[in-house]
């Protein structure tokens, strides 16, 4: 059993990591830190974990994270960049679920996250944790930057046609809808049930941090500039992201359905549905799949892909466990085989 630490365990990605790791056959979570909840039993804060763990939150300063084989940072942006390097230098492998190591261009990063980066040397060494693209690099990585939630649903929906000639790479649109857990477990007015319930709205329509992250990946694959308009929406549910992407055709495409099926044929966590399907977010609730369907409305000049994930699983903790499995040499699906909860 490898030893695992979780820094910042009180948020939703923290409890979701615990949900997945508590039943993982080959690892043991030995430390979960929290400044605010140190000394409190984890299952007191999260009764869903009663019977599955006896862990007590430990103070970040006192937890022996250096004794772990791998540490997850489930912290707000700006923490891992300061605290991960010390662990990395001691040989601990790190997966950051925040955004600190996602963008390679530090100027872009600073503009969107409003801080100077504290460990730029590690940005370069970090591997972007999208296994469908970077599986081999992840296996050997010391530091993995786990992708964002909207990013995962959107990027996977677009990847199979990046670089082809019959796609206009300049006018891609991604309209993404997220449940409220994506906003995290922080006291806030705008995500109160009485504010976010029974209502839909856009947010950050003028520009969202996930846009440059998606573009970075797509541009690397397409080997050209990407024009992407990305608008996120808050919908009244707890879990789930549906991203509908609109890709203008610049010529006659090959068989789109076949292309998508072929592209993801070997992927354990991407499911291309049959023609004429409409994936529901609930069909992946609680599991690590990205499920998608491909449409070309009225045989016209637009490719439409609808892609769904559970934002806390494939969009965060599940993908992080998938990355951990790769890094530690376990089967990629270990601890992630559960059936989605539907209805």
Of 273, 264, 291, 247, the residue nearest 153 (C-alpha): 291
Q: Is 329 left (phi over 0), alpha (psi -120 to 50) or beta?
A: left
Q: List the one residue from 62, 170, 225, 254 that touches a copy of itself (CB under 8 A).
A: 170
CB of 285 to a copy of itself, least distance (A): 7
Is position 153 an interface residue for a copy of itself (rule: CB under 8 A)?
A: no
311-340 positions binding a copy of itself, by CB under 8 A: 312, 337-340
Is position 253 an interface residue for a copy of itself (rule: CB under 8 A)?
A: no
CB atoms within 10 A of CB 38: 15
Q: What three-state secondary structure class fits 173?
A: strand
Distance (Å, whole) CA 222 – CA 160: 10
CB of 264 to a copy of itself, least distance (A): 12
Whether 68 is catalytic is no
- Can you give the C-alpha Rg of the chain in angstroms? 20
CA 46 from centroid of its chain's CA atoms: 22
DSSP bridge partners of 281: none
Q: Is 273 left (phi over 0), alpha (psi -120 to 50) or beta?
A: beta
Distance (Å, whole) CA 18 – CA 207: 33
270-309 positions binding a copy of itself, by CB under 8 A: 271, 273, 276-286, 289, 291, 293, 295-298, 300-302, 304, 306, 308
The nearer residue to a copy of itself, 22 or 118, going by C-beta atoms, is: 22
178-217 positions binding a copy of itself, by CB under 8 A: 179-181, 183, 185-189, 191-203, 205-207, 211
- For residue 239, CA distances in Å to 75, 143, 188, 293, 307 come to 19, 27, 18, 20, 14
46-85 positions binding a copy of itself, by CB under 8 A: 46-52
Is position 233 an interface residue for a copy of itself (rule: CB under 8 A)?
A: yes
By CB under 8 A, how many residues form the interface with a copy of itself?
Answer: 93
Residue 41 in contact with residue 15, Cβ under 8 Å? Answer: no
Is position 240 an interface residue for a copy of itself (rule: CB under 8 A)?
A: yes
The nearer residue to a copy of itself, 45 or 220, going by C-beta atoms, is: 45
The nearer residue to a copy of itself, 15 or 95, going by C-beta atoms, is: 15
Taking contact as CB under 8 A, which single stretch among the options 90-98, 147-155, 224-232, 319-327 is the one that binds a copy of itself?
Answer: 224-232
Question: Which residue in 6, 21, 145, 149 is the catalytic one?
Answer: 149
Q: What three-state secondary structure class fits 200?
A: coil
Mind telling me the catalytic residues?
A: 149
């Amino acid at each position: 059993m490898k030893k695992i630490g979780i820094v910042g365990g009180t948020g939703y990605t923290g409890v979701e990591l615990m949900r997945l790791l508590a039943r993982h056959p080959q690892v043991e979570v030995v430390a979960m830190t929290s400044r605010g909840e140190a000394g409190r039993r984890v299952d007191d804060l999260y009764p869903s974990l009663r019977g599955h763990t006896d862990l007590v939150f430990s103070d970040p300063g006192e937890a022996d994270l250096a004794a772990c084989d791998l540490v997850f940072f489930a912290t707000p942006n700006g923490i891992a960049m300061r605290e991960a390097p010390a662990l990395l230098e001691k040989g601990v492998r790190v997966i950051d679920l925040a955004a600190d190591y996602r963008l390679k261009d530090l100027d872009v990063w600073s503009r969107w996250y409003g801080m100077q980066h504290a460990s730029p040397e590690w940005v370069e060494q970090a591997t972007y944790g999208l296994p469908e693209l970077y599986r081999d690099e992840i296996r050997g990585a010391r530091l993995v930057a786990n992708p964002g939630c909207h990013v995962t649903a959107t990027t996977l929906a677009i990847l199979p046609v990046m670089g082809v000639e019959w796609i206009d790479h300049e006018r891609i649109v991604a309209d993404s809808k997220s449940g409220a857990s994506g906003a995290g477990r922080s006291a806030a007015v705008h995500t109160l049930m009485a504010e976010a319930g029974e209502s839909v709205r856009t947010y950050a329509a003028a520009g969202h941090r996930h846009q440059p992250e998606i573009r970075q990946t797509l541009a690397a694959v397409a080997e050209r500039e990407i024009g992407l308009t990305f608008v996120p929406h808050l919908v009244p549910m707890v879990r789930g992201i549906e991203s509908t992407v609109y890709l203008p055709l610049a010529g006659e495409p090959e068989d789109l359905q076949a292309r998508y099926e072929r592209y993801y044929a070997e992927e354990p966590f991407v499911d291309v549905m049959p023609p004429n399907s409409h994936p529901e977010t609930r069909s992946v609730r609680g599991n690590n799949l990205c499920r998608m369907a491909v449409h070309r409305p009225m045989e016209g000049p637009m490719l439409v892909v609808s892609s769904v994930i559970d934002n806390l699983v494939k969009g965060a903790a599940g993908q992080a466990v998938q990355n951990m499995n790769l890094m530690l040499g376990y089967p990629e699906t270990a601890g992630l085989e559960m059936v989605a909860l539907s209805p």
